Amino acid sequence: MKEQYIKMRNSHRIDAALLYTFAREQGFDGDTAAFMTAMQFMDINEMLGAIDRKFELILLFDKNNKFIKVVE
């Protein structure tokens, strides 16, 4: 899961299916429709930041504070 998440982050695209799988592994018991509804009300940056911290990842930014990529 961690490797897939890093690939998603480094692609600069959100994979809702991967995030749903992660949520299920963390105890979320709703269906995909409930998850997608919940995602509409979440701050995606906060959610990704929480997952980054859980996986203990390092984020690289350029001098203008633009996200470059995630490393372990």
The residue ranges of every structural domain in the chain are: 2-71
What is the pTM (predicted TM-score) of this model? Answer: 0.86
The mean pLDDT value for 38-62 works out to 94
**21-28 long-range Cβ contacts below 8 angstroms, 24+ apart:** 22/51, 25/1
For the segment 9-35, what is each residue's pLDDT rounded down to a tens digit? 999 999 999 999 999 999 999 999 999
Which 3 state secondary structure label does DSSP give 7? helix
Tell me whether residue 29 is exposed, middle or buried, using C-beta atoms within 10 angstroms of its C-beta: 0 to 12, 13 to 18, 19 or more: exposed
Contact (Cβ atoms closer than 8 angstroms) between residue 52 and residue 6: no
